[in-house]
Structure 1
Amino acid sequence: MFVLVNLKAYPCDPVAVAEAARTVADAHGVRIAVAPQAAHIDRVAATGVETWAQHVAPVDHGSHTGHALAEAVADAGATGTLLNHSERRLRLADVDGALDAAERAGLSTVVCANNPEQVAAAAALGPDAVAVEPPALIGGDVSVATADPGIVEGAVAAADAVDPDVAVYCGAGVSTGDDLAAAADLGAEGVLLASGVAKADDPTAALENLVSGV
């Protein structure tokens, strides 16, 4: 199982979370990545943890003030990027453009979607993975795998029907080892989470609890 921790814009110490993630990943042999703010990518990558960008723009080098250039985040140490998160929605054409930008920069990709229908559309664009995250459950205390297991199973089936090589992750409310185990049982190959680690008083303990479900 792949664990991707999105730090969003939470007031946490990105380096401390990254160090906790690296420690837990090394101790348990679990793949854990951290997606910090763009300005913190280099500091997080310096810890040795797998580092992702929260977004890249569908642009190439040029006159694009304020856009996150894929090559720039890769140069800072990111090896992957989230795209189309519920808090950073893109039009389908821009998702496609951002995937092209990520491929150009050698970044792995996860495209987020709200439901199985959107998962199918995202999978057709050829990302490395898609992640189903019902917006109503994001930031909550109940995992999507518990609150609506059918949406995870539906996402897995939808992606498989379009492109069996596209992995399926799930997110929204994921925070415990039981959540991770439930996601795996439903066919997900990874999970996205944020507040369960970024807002934790002890990120190491939170991640230890999470990977107990592997």
Structure 2
Amino acid sequence: MFVLVNLKTYPCDPVAVAEAVRDVNESTDARVAVAPQAAHLERVAETGAETWAQHVDPIDYGSNTGHTLAETVAEAGAVGTLINHSEQRLKLADVDGAVEAAERADLETVVCANNPAQIGAAAALGPDAVAVEPPELIGTGTPVSQADPDIVEDAVEAAQAVDADVSVLCGAGISTGDDVVAAGDLGSEGVLLASGVAKADDPTAALEDLVAPL
């Protein structure tokens, strides 16, 4: 099971969370990674935690002021990137371009989508994984696996119908180990979460709770 912690722009200590991710990753069979803000990538990667970017743009080297270049993300120590998170939506052509840019930089990719239909479209672009995240549940503490489990099962079916090699992650409202287990029972190979760890007083304890049932 893949547990990817997105720190968004929460006012947490990214290095402290990364150290917790590193330590818990070493004590479990689950794969645990963290996605900090772009400015924190290098510091986070230096902790030894598996580090992901929150976004890359569909660009190459050149005149692209204010954009995030995949190669720069990789040079900072990231091994993968989120694409098309509900808080950083892209047009389909730009999602395709961002996936190509990430692959050019040898970054693993997770493309986010709102529903099973979008998951199918995202899977057709050839990412390593897709993540289904109904935006209305993000940050609520109510997991999609509980609020509407059909969305997860249908997302898995939609991705497999397009490309069986594309993994499906479950996002939105994940905060406990039971949520992770429920996501797995519905066919998900991982979870994408944020506030449950980034806002926790004790990130290590929060992560240990997430992976304990696995």
Q: TM-score, normalization: structure 2? A: 0.99
CA contact (8 A) 1:32 1:50 kept: yes
Deviation of 1:30 after TM superposition, in Å, equals 1.8
Match in the other structure for 2:79: 79
Output the CA distance in 1 between the equivalents of 2:212 and 2:102. Answer: 32
Output the CA distance in 1 between the equivalents of 2:5 and 2:69. Answer: 21
One-letter amino acid matched to 1:40: H
Match in the other structure for 1:125: 125
Deviation of 1:197 after TM superposition, in Å, equals 0.1
Aligned length: 214
Output the CA distance in 2 between the equivalents of 1:112 and 1:205. Answer: 27
**Counterpart check, 1:36 vs 2:40:** no
Bigger Cα displacement from structure 2, 88-97 vs 29-38: 29-38
Match in the other structure for 1:91: 91
One-letter amino acid matched to 1:66: G
Output the CA distance in 2 between the equivalents of 1:117 and 1:141. Answer: 24
Deviations, residues 168-197 of structure 1 (Å, cap 9, x unaligned): 001000010000000000000000000000
Q: Identity, % of aligned pairs?
A: 74
Deviation of 1:212 after TM superposition, in Å, equals 1.4
Q: How does 1:1-214 map to 2 (within 5 A)?
A: 1-214=1-214
Output the CA distance in 1 between the equivalents of 2:182 and 2:170. Answer: 10
Deviation of 1:213 after TM superposition, in Å, equals 2.6
Output the CA distance in 1 between the equivalents of 2:212 and 2:84. Answer: 29
One-letter amino acid matched to 1:136: E
Deviations, residues 29-84 of structure 1 (Å, cap 9, x unaligned): 32101000000000000010100000000000000000000000000000000000
Output the CA distance in 2 between the equivalents of 1:121 and 1:140. Answer: 26
Unaligned ranges ≥5, structure 2: none
Output the CA distance in 2 between the equivalents of 1:179 and 1:186. Answer: 11
Output the CA distance in 2 between the equivalents of 1:14 and 1:117. Answer: 34
CA contact (8 A) 1:179 1:213 kept: no
Deviation of 1:28 after TM superposition, in Å, equals 1.4
Give structure 1 regions of 4+ aligned residues with deviation exceeding 6 angstroms: none
One-letter amino acid matched to 1:185: D
